[in-house]
């Protein structure tokens, strides 16, 4: 189904940072020579004294954010997801997670939908890294409305957070009046046969998949699991109990991300057949975002196929 495209969630970030800058004089923003891409440049132009460009040196930036937090500031640090999480990981671990400091790690250009730049710039392992940091909240909004609301909540939350945002314009799945809560899944469609749990761009694909499944007589519930950690175990348990099968869909490796987090919750609460839509133990390539989502199995048709597999594994009790 055709959905209207909204702004890219990184553009939402640029807007939100400007608002936050006016609201909270304690916020400082750090970037590593990508401010025009991450959209922190808007904050930089408005609040130059509170913006620090670290050059192409992520490790230094991440640890310095720890120093700012120790001295009472609220740092927002940004770069591409792959660079900040991968190059800055030991620093995220020791300078932020281990002392438990309130630093907001907002990364853009998540997943493979950055397109033409190719795999060296794509993050497919960032959820796995982020969820492994003790005490961190990990969020991946689906569209501009989700990003707007969740980024404002992130600024008020006392915990360290990773927020993954995207490069391309994101299809609209929400409206301005929708509400969000960190750690609480949004149910976008009810169904009794299976639950599709997605985040980011894959939420729109899951909604499309649900419509295709409906034509086949399958009623699919769709959950936007924008918060990967802490995961909404209650919504997952209810979905498992009430629908008996689950498919997860994410723009990430199927190891260590949303699917793995949901599977843990399902195994703990109410085991049911599960299938996983995501990138399968590989790196992607250059192409348009749409071409790549199709080639790497991240579109509605892939979710439908996974749902059929999961449904076939559902126990038939009379």
Partner 1 sequence: MRKTEAPDYRYLAELAREARRHVLKMIHAAGSGHPGGSLSSLDVLVTLYFHEMRHDPKNPDDPDRDRFILSKGHGVPALYTVMAMSGYFDVSLLQTLRKLDSPLQGHPDKRKLPALEASTGSLGQGLSIGIGMALALKLDGRDARVYVMLGDGECDEGQVWEAAMFAGNRGAQLNNLCAIVDANGAQLDGYTKDIMPLEPFADKWRAFNWNVLEIDGHSYPEIVEAFQKARACKTAPTVIIARTVKGKGVSFMEAAGAKYHGVAPTDEELERALAELEAE
When binding is defined by CB under 8 A, the residue of 24, 46, 90, 116 that contacts partner 1 is 90
Smallest distance from partner 1 to CB 122, Å: 24
In angstroms, rounded to a whole number, what is the distance separating the alpha carbons of residues 87 and 12? 25
For partner 1 (CB under 8 A), the number of binding residues is 31
List 58, 125, 250, 275, catalytic entry: 58
Interaction between residue 69 and partner 1 (CB under 8 A):
yes
Residue 234 burial (CB count, 10 A): 13
Query: Judged by CB under 8 A, does residue 83 bind partner 1?
Result: no
Please identify, among the stretches 90-98, 167-175, 189-197, 257-265, the one whose residues bind partner 1 according to the rule CB under 8 A.
Answer: 90-98
Per CB under 8 A, which region of 50-58, 154-162, 165-173, 292-300 contacts partner 1? 50-58
* Helix ranges, the chain (H): 9-23, 35-38, 41-46, 58-70, 81-82, 89-91, 126-131, 144-156, 202-215, 233-243, 258-269, 289-295, 300-312
Q: Using CB atoms within 10 A of its CB, is residue 49 exposed (0-12), middle (13-18) or buried (19+)?
A: exposed
The CB-of-100 to partner 1 minimum distance in angstroms stands at: 6
Q: Which two tokens stand for residue 90?
A: 């030991």
Report the nearest approach of partner 1 to the CB of residue 136 (Å).
15
Please identify which residue in 51, 54, 180, 276 interacts with partner 1, judged by CB under 8 A: 54
Cα-based distances in Å from 43 to 18, 53, 67: 5, 12, 20
**Is 67 a residue that touches partner 1 (CB under 8 A)?**
yes
Both tokens of 236, joined, read 């997952």
- 233 in active site: no
**Residue 70 within binding range of partner 1, rule CB under 8 A:** yes
Please identify which residue in 42, 50, 221, 252 interacts with partner 1, judged by CB under 8 A.
50
**What is the β-pairing status of strands 194-198 and 137-139?**
unpaired
Pair 287, 190: CB distance under 8 Å: no
> Is residue 64 within the footprint of partner 1 (CB under 8 A)?
yes
Query: Rg for the chain (alpha carbons), in Å?
Result: 19
Q: Which residues are catalytic?
A: 58
Residues at the contact surface with partner 1, assessed by CB under 8 A: 28, 49-50, 52, 54-55, 57, 59-73, 75, 90-91, 93-95, 98-100
């Amino acid at each position: 189904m055709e959905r209207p495209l909204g702004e890219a969630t990184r553009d939402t970030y640029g807007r939100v940072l400007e608002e936050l800058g006016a609201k909270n004089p304690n916020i400082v923003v750090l970037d590593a020579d990508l401010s025009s891409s991450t959209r922190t440049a808007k904050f930089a132009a408005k609040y130059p004294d509170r913006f620090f460009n670290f050059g192409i040196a992520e490790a230094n930036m991440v640890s310095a954010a720890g120093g700012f937090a120790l001295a009472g500031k609220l740092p927002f640090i940004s770069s591409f997801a792959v660079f900040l999480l991968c190059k800055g990981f030991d620093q995220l671990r020791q300078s932020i997670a281990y002392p438990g400091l309130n630093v907001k790690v907002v990364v853009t250009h998540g997943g493979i939908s950055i397109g033409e730049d190719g795999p060296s710039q794509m993050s497919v392992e960032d959820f796995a890294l982020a969820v492994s940091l003790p005490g961190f909240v990990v969020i991946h909004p689906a569209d501009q409305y989700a990003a707007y609301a969740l980024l404002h909540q992130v600024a008020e939350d006392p915990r360290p957070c990773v927020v993954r945002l995207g490069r391309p314009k994101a299809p609209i799945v929400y409206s301005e009046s929708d509400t969000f809560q960190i750690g609480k899944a949004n149910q976008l469609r009810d169904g009794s046969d299976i639950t599709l749990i997605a985040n980011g761009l894959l939420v729109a694909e899951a909604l499309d998949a649900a419509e295709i499944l409906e034509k086949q007589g399958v009623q699919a519930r769709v959950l936007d699991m924008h918060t990967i950690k802490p995961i909404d175990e209650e919504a997952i348990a209810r979905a498992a109990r009430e629908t008996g099968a689950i498919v997860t869909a994410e723009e990430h490796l199927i190891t260590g991300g949303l699917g793995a987090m949901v599977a843990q919750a399902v195994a703990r609460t109410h085991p049911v057949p599960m299938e996983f839509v995501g990138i399968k133990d590989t790196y992607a390539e250059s192409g348009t975002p749409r071409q790549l989502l199709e080639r790497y199995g991240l579109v509605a048709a892939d979710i439908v196929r996974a749902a059929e597999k999961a449904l076939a594994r559902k126990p038939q009790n009379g």
